[in-house]
Amino acid sequence: ARGIQHTAVRQAHRKHEPSFHDKYGTLVLLGGATMFTTVWGYVLTKLNLEWGFSPVGRITPTEWRE
């Protein structure tokens, strides 16, 4: 039991080294958000979508070919 206590005390007094998330977490999050916004912005502007709610008057039927 005393060995476990010594190990716990030794680990508690160890200097905390920053992990990957401590160093780069915010940078990775912002980079991902930027990529997400850029890709979806490109996709939504290149699809040539009609941004209306009703298709009435916009869609005309084509003649049937046999």
Average confidence (pLDDT) per 10 residues, the chain, 66 residues: 72 70 90 96 81 67 77
Rounded to an integer, what distance in angstroms lies between the CA atom of residue 4 and that of residue 1? 5
Q: Please tell me the predicted confidence (pLDDT) of residue 34.
A: 97
Q: Please tell me the predicted confidence (pLDDT) of residue 51.
A: 66
Domain residues of the chain, as ranges?
1-46
According to CATH, the topology of domain 1-46 is Cytochrome C Oxidase; Chain K (4.10.51)
Rounded to an integer, what distance in angstroms lies between the CA atom of residue 36 and that of residue 42? 10
Q: Please tell me the predicted confidence (pLDDT) of residue 38.
A: 96
Rounded to an integer, what distance in angstroms lies between the CA atom of residue 49 and that of residue 57? 15
Coil, helix or strand for 63?
coil
Strands of 1-66, DSSP E: none
Q: Please tell me the predicted confidence (pLDDT) of residue 12.
A: 60
Q: Please tell me the predicted confidence (pLDDT) of residue 3.
A: 75
